[in-house]
Chains A and B, each alone.
Chain A
Amino acid sequence: MSTLKWGDASAQRKVLFVEGDDEFRAIAALMQDQSISGLGLRDLHGRTNLGEKLSVARKASGFSEVQSVGILCDAEQSFAVSWSNVTGALEVAGLSVPAAPLSRARGTPDVTVFISPDNSGNGVFEDIFLDCMAGDPHMGCVEPFASCITGMVSMNAAHESKLKMQALVASKGKRLIGEAADNHVFDWSHIAFRPLIEFLRTL
């Protein structure tokens, strides 16, 4: 899935960088469901050295054709720190820096950033899916399971969200969000996905 090349017709003008393979597969499934085309996905294999990675991306063959770049990152434990990291990386790479999440920074190319889960608070990509699955019957089992675990093991909120999500998708016979997304576990019309869909459409 993560072998799209800049040269692919669908990936030339708009590119979305995501943190990992799970996000890559989930976004790809969402795009397919919503008939969003012309957007190339790139897996950054983690957010470490984001500035260097974006710098290299800028030098990659065909990048000069790209008109719009999106970056999808987790807020993790601090939205402010994550936002600062992303804007710092954009500066290092010589890319335009937006004033705020979802704000489009004009440049060559334009840049827009989405900080999961809601562009203002702390949290991770998985929180969007937990929101979507809040009414799922399996969540009645997942919540006590997570409480039990967090009662024994200290973990931050981001880690807890990942724990819940993995437990939930495991209960559906899947291992990761991406796999669950590929297998139609999620209702993409749920309100939880609207900001993300809007972000993808406006890139």
Chain B
Amino acid sequence: MTFESSGTDGRFIRRANISHFRGFKDLILEPLARINLIAGLNNVGKTAVLEALQLKNMPFNNFMLVLNAPVRNSPNWGFQPFMRGVEAPWAAWFHRYEVSQPIEIAITTNNSETSTLRLRNLIDAQEIQEKVAPVLFPGQPIVDSEVWAFGAQPHVLELQVPGKQTSSGFMIPQTTGYIIFEQSGQLRVSGALPQATMPAIYRPSRADGNPNELAQLFGQLVVQKQVPELVESLKMMEPRLKDITTVATPIGAQLYGDIGIGHQMPLKLMGEGTEKLTSLLVDAASARDGLLLIDEIENGFHYSVLESIWASLDQATRQSRVQLVATTHSLECIAAAQRYFSRDPGLLPSGEDFRVFRVERDGEAVKAIGFTAEELGEALELGFEVR
């Protein structure tokens, strides 16, 4: 199945199995569609779903990118807060902080290809020594009886992608890499760190966007000649908008808009909704053939434009063959998506184009209950609560 009827090789995640991560002992999301909304009560794990998908698709081989990736409105990947010297910086990733059990994030695409990322926090001093001593003390022999000086043992995260045979019979070997966090605060990597399964862009709910980064991503739209479409979409927020351009300023590249007042205006001053939609559409174009993860997608948008927002996002993600997974608290946002995707037959069969999942706690377990656009329409008409 492809995103476009033209027969391009679009692929998307059909199933995600998240084990021992954040609040999830074991969560299965299936079948994921091209556009997915995640609803549910506060603190049930909506954002954690996005984090897990982001983690699975991290370019670990470029660890600086990982460290700089935004999450939970923090400037980097949630390595804080943690009790230095006591717990590993990644301890909060593990379910109930139980770092003795591995995290597993497995995704299966619409092509039935399954890929798993296994994260294991090494605890045994001997094993840590065997795995990381060659990195920390290159050229020195490993002595069996050697122990770390008190307080000197580093935290080590093992990242493993199990080997597998592809559908075409090609054998992919297992890869194992290590992230080493020394007590001094220095981070090192060793081994074969997992590569990103597909491009993934994550937008936290409230973090201030980086105008410089946005301007850089906007450049891709310029190259792809998609700026007129972007401007057209943004007119729902600012009807006077005629054009957008990048301006080099003392604080870096910034986006400015022409609203016909004889002076270009910084996009940031055109309101949160305009900036947010710009960001989402630019992200959609940038995550080509990958994944766009948006936390609290409705933030900054007036309810009356939500259906148009979905139309714009649908078009942008189709063009770039991007799968969208977004969280929301807003019934208006869900209803607007339902109206849009019910009206537009889409290119994929019913249920593959759009789906809403409610993540809910059932005792210790957390489960995801999916609704197609048709089921959602029925539920909304009957007044059933789906969030």
Which residues from chain A sit less than 8 Å from chain B, CB to CB?
2-3, 5-7, 42-45, 49, 52-53, 55-57, 59-62, 64
Find out whether the CB atom of A61 lies under 8 angstroms from the CB atom of B387. Answer: yes
Kindly state whether residue B362 has any CB partner on chain A within 8 Å. yes
List, in ascending order, chain A residues with CB within 8 A of B369's CB: 59
Find out whether the CB atom of B381 lies under 8 angstroms from the CB atom of A60. Answer: no
Per the bound structure, the CA–CA distance linking A5 and B379 in Å amounts to: 12
Given A61-B358, A61-B360, A64-B362, A2:B383 Cβ within 8 A: yes
Please give 18 more A-B residue pairs, beta carbons under 8 A apart, in addition to A5-B383, A55-B375.
A3-B383, A42-B383, A42-B384, A43-B383, A44-B382, A53-B378, A56-B384, A57-B379, A59-B369, A59-B375, A59-B379, A59-B386, A60-B379, A60-B385, A61-B358, A61-B387, A62-B385, A64-B362
List, in ascending order, chain B residues with CB within 8 A of A59's CB: 358, 369-371, 375, 379, 386
List, in ascending order, chain A residues with CB within 8 A of B378's CB: 49, 52-53, 56
Q: Which residue of B lies closest to A44 (CB)?
A: B382
Find out whether the CB atom of A53 lies under 8 angstroms from the CB atom of B382. Answer: yes
Per the bound structure, the CA–CA distance linking A62 and B362 in Å amounts to: 10
Contact of B382 among A42, A61, A62, A64 (CB under 8 A): A42
Per-residue CB proximity of B343-375 to A under 8 Å, as 1/0?
A: 000000000000000101010000001110001
For the complex formed, measure the closest distance between the CB of B290 and the CB atoms of chain A, giving whole angstroms.
30
List, in ascending order, chain B residues with CB within 8 A of A43's CB: 382-383
Find out whether the CB atom of A6 lies under 8 angstroms from the CB atom of B385. Answer: yes
Per the bound structure, the CA–CA distance linking A57 and B376 in Å amounts to: 10
Find out whether the CB atom of A57 lies under 8 angstroms from the CB atom of B381. Answer: no
Per the bound structure, the CA–CA distance linking A3 and B384 in Å amounts to: 9
Find out whether the CB atom of A60 lies under 8 angstroms from the CB atom of B386. Answer: yes
Find out whether the CB atom of B385 lies under 8 angstroms from the CB atom of A45. Answer: no
Per the bound structure, the CA–CA distance linking A80 and B378 in Å amounts to: 27
Find out whether the CB atom of A45 lies under 8 angstroms from the CB atom of B371. Answer: no
Which residues from chain B sit less than 8 Å from chain A, CB to CB?
358, 360, 362, 369-371, 375, 378-379, 381-387
For the complex formed, measure the closest distance between the CB of B350 and the CB atoms of chain A, giving whole angstroms.
13
Per the bound structure, the CA–CA distance linking A24 and B32 in Å amounts to: 36
For the complex formed, measure the closest distance between the CB of A40 and the CB atoms of chain B, giving whole angstroms.
11
Find out whether the CB atom of A6 lies under 8 angstroms from the CB atom of B375. Answer: no
Q: Which residue of B lies closest to A42 (CB)?
A: B382
List, in ascending order, chain B residues with CB within 8 A of A42's CB: 382-384
Find out whether the CB atom of A7 lies under 8 angstroms from the CB atom of B384. Answer: no
For the complex formed, measure the closest distance between the CB of A13 and the CB atoms of chain B, giving whole angstroms.
16
Per the bound structure, the CA–CA distance linking A7 and B378 in Å amounts to: 19
Contact of A56 among B362, B379, B387 (CB under 8 A): B379
Q: Which of B362, B370, B375 has the most chain A CB atoms inside 10 A of its CB?
A: B375
For the complex formed, measure the closest distance between the CB of B357 and the CB atoms of chain A, giving whole angstroms.
10
Per the bound structure, the CA–CA distance linking A3 and B382 in Å amounts to: 9
List, in ascending order, chain A residues with CB within 8 A of B385's CB: 5-7, 60-62
List, in ascending order, chain A residues with CB within 8 A of B387's CB: 61
List, in ascending order, chain A residues with CB within 8 A of B370's CB: 59
Per the bound structure, the CA–CA distance linking A55 and B372 in Å amounts to: 12
List, in ascending order, chain A residues with CB within 8 A of B358's CB: 59, 61
List, in ascending order, chain B residues with CB within 8 A of A45's CB: 381-382
Per the bound structure, the CA–CA distance linking A55 and B68 in Å amounts to: 44
For the complex formed, measure the closest distance between the CB of A126 and the CB atoms of chain B, giving whole angstroms.
23
List, in ascending order, chain A residues with CB within 8 A of B381's CB: 45
List, in ascending order, chain B residues with CB within 8 A of A64's CB: 360, 362
25 A–B contacts, CB within 8 A, in A order: A3-B383, A5-B383, A5-B385, A7-B385, A42-B382, A42-B383, A43-B383, A45-B381, A49-B378, A53-B378, A53-B382, A56-B378, A56-B379, A57-B384, A59-B370, A59-B371, A60-B379, A61-B358, A61-B360, A61-B384, A61-B385, A61-B387, A62-B385, A64-B360, A64-B362
Per the bound structure, the CA–CA distance linking A42 and B371 in Å amounts to: 20
For the complex formed, measure the closest distance between the CB of B49 and the CB atoms of chain A, giving whole angstroms.
17
Q: Which residue of B lies closest to A61 (CB)?
A: B385
